[in-house]
């Protein structure tokens, strides 16, 4: 019997007892304490701990999973969802995306990020790795939404020394700001955009600053063939060699895309312990022409994780859809149906993601942060349930997620998220006004 009103469950951290869920093939209960940690997990927990918990959630045989970790996105790009599709990458960027982004305000980024957090919570994601602009506003959105995030300012100097100085200050200011929030859910990172937008001097500064501050580096790497040929023409070396020379490849580096890598480059990333974020939907939509060599990277020792990229090139932040896309793309591109089997694909979305972002273990165990989701087993996509990883990867979308808990706090309960209507209304209005401002020029 719950001792409090159920709607109060959303008000902050409480001790929670989740009964009657399934982990692996076992029926278990989960006890979460008020500090946001899993205090106990196993069969029969409810008998020992029912009276301790402020709230009891009836899991109703749902599948309990660690929350998904989205290791590469640009959250506020939700405002650009469906604004420009089916175009050549360069036209898409120069004619549609960049002109719109030139009109972005801090308020737009706040509402765009709130919308992204809402979508992520609804589809079972509890942490994400973000790179964009007006990141102080993104941090406020993350703080209020209750999710976890690693936030970096998109550092772009285009080889211009004056611009580079501005980017140094913007990066330092964001890190200082995030540290001042003193919120364990929000971590700063350094975000050199890519080798084609940041000079070697800028890259070296980013690597050095990240090392001094002991924070992560978030970068795009080898997304397109053009990036590789341009880099070779300009710098006399391919992107991974250039990044390595500048000190950017480290165990705290998250490199997004990593499509156009040869075997030696996979080995290099493995040797440096880099986290390689696979973004299959974005790569397919923008026709980058090559899939990440996931198996070679994993064999070499890189941590292969998963991301959606921004909503303008996906156009969804649903990690369950992304897991399926990853498994299918890997099989199709490498012409081998045994590549990336369901349990491994799922582990990319939680265990590998948590390791990449340094947020917990991406597992459900005693003593780890309670970042977890409950996926309904009483839905068509989970009926029958011969082998739950197969259902979760190949049949389910995020729509099957019923309940989302981050750091022990309930963010969605039985599909209910308080305040969701306001976020939808305000984000739609911000997107509409942004397009109007852009076309008025």
Stretch binding Zn ion (CB under 5 A), from 168-176, 197-205, 306-314, 367-375: 306-314
CB of 146 to Zn ion, least distance (A): 24
Name which of 29 and 309 has its Cβ closer to Zn ion.
309
Taking the mean position of all CA atoms in its chain, how far away is CA 226?
26
CB within 8 Å of 340: residues ≥ 6 apart:
294, 295, 326, 327, 330, 331, 348
Q: Which residue is nearest to Zn ion (CB)?
A: 309
Stretch of 118-126, 136-144, 304-312, 317-325 lying at the interface with Zn ion (CB under 5 A):
304-312
Give Cβ neighbours of residue 165 (< 8 Å, ≥ 6 apart).
Answer: none
Taking the complex as a whole, the smallest distance from the CB of residue 317 to Zn ion amounts, in Å, to 13
Q: How far is the CB of 73 from Zn ion (least distance, A)?
A: 7
Q: Considering only CA atoms, which of 148, 9, 156, 128 is closest in space to residue 71?
A: 128
The candidate with the shortest Cα–Cα distance to 272, out of 251, 256, 257, 253, is: 251
Q: Considering beta carbons, is residue 195 or 373 the nearer one to Zn ion?
A: 195
Q: State how far Cα 280 lies from the chain centre.
A: 13
CB of 220 to Zn ion, least distance (A): 5
CB nearer to Zn ion: pick between 188 and 310: 310
**Residue number with CB closer to Zn ion (309 or 402):** 309
Which range binds Zn ion by CB under 5 A, 99-107, 234-242, 302-310, 331-339? 302-310
DSSP 85: -
Q: Which of residues 71-130 bind Zn ion (CB under 5 A)?
A: none
| Smallest distance, Zn ion to C-beta of residue 313, A | 7
Give the count of residues interacting with Zn ion (CB under 5 A): 1
Q: Mark the segment that binds Zn ion (CB under 5 A) among 108-116, 150-158, 195-203, 305-313.
A: 305-313
Residues with Cβ within 8 Å of 13's Cβ and at least 6 positions away in sequence, in order, are 34, 35, 36, 407, 408, 409
How far apart are the C-alpha atoms of 303 and 313, rounded to whole Å? 24
- Scanning the structure block, which residue is given the tokens 């040869």? 262
- Collapsed DSSP state (helix, strand, coil) of residue 32: strand
Q: Which is nearer to Zn ion, 24 or 289 (CB)?
A: 289
Residue 309 is a binding residue for Zn ion (CB under 5 A): yes
Q: Taking the complex as a whole, how short is the minimal distance between the CB of residue 233 and Zn ion, in angstroms?
A: 23
Q: Is 322 in the site for Zn ion (CB under 5 A)?
A: no
Question: Rounded to the nearest whole angstrom, what is the least distance from the CB of residue 310 to Zn ion in the complex?
Answer: 6
Terminus-to-terminus CA distance in the chain, angstroms? 60
Query: What is the secondary structure of 161-224 as a DSSP string?
Result: HHHHHHHHHHHHHHHHHHHHHT-TTEEEEEEE--TTTS-HHHHHHHHHHHHHHT-EEEEEES-S
- What's the closest the beta carbon of residue 74 comes to Zn ion, in angstroms? 6
Which residue, 157 or 309, has its beta carbon nearer to Zn ion? 309
Contact residues for Zn ion (CB under 5 A)? 309
């Amino acid at each position: 019997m719950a001792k409090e009103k159920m709607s109060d469950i959303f008000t902050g951290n409480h001790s929670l007892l989740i009964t009657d869920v399934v982990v692996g093939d076992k029926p278990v209960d989960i006890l979460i304490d008020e500090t946001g940690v899993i205090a106990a997990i196993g069969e029969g927990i409810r008998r020992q701990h029912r009276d301790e918990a402020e709230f009891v959630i009836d899991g109703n045989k749902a599948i309990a999973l660690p929350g998904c970790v989205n290791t590469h996105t640009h959250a506020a790009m939700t405002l650009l969802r469906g604004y420009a599709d089916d175009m050549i990458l360069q036209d898409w960027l120069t004619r549609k995306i960049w002109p719109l982004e030139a009109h972005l305000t801090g308020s737009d980024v706040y509402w765009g990020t709130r919308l992204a957090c809402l979508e992520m919570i609804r589809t079972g994601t509890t942490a994400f790795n973000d790179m964009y602009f007006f990141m102080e506003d993104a941090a406020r959105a993350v703080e209020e939404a209750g999710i976890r995030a690693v936030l970096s300012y998109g550092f772009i100097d285009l080889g211009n020394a004056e611009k580079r100085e501005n980017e140094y200050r913007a990066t330092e200011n964001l890190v200082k700001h995030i540290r001042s929030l003193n919120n364990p859910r929000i971590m700063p990172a350094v975000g050199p955009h890519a080798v084609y937008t940041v000079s070697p001097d800028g890259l070296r500064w980013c690597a050095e600053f990240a090392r001094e501050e002991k924070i992560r580096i978030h970068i795009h790497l080898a997304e397109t063939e053009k990036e590789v040929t341009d880099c070779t023409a300009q710098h006399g070396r391919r992107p991974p060699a250039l990044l390595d020379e500048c000190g950017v490849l480290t165990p705290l580096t998250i490199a997004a895309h990593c499509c156009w890598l040869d075997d030696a480059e996979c080995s290099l990333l493995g040797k440096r312990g880099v986290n390689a974020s696979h973004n299959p939907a974005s790569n397919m939509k923008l026709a980058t022409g090559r899939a990440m060599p996931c198996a070679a990277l994993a064999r070499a020792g890189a941590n292969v994780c998963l991301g959606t990229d921004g909503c303008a090139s996906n156009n969804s932040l649903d990690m369950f859809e992304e897991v399926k896309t990853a498994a299918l793309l890997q099989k199709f591109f490498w012409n081998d149906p045994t590549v990336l089997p369901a349990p491994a694909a799922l582990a990319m979305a939680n265990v590998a993601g948590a390791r990449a972002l340094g947020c917990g273990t991406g597992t459900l165990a005693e003593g780890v942060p309670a970042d977890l989701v409950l996926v309904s087993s009483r839905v068509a996509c989970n009926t029958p349930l011969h082998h739950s990883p197969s259902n979760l990867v190949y049949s389910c979308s995020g729509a099957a997620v019923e309940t989302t808990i981050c750091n022990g706090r309930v963010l969605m309960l039985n599909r209910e998220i308080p305040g969701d209507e306001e976020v939808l209304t305000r984000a739609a209005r911000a997107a509409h006004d942004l397009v109007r401002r852009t076309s008025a020029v």
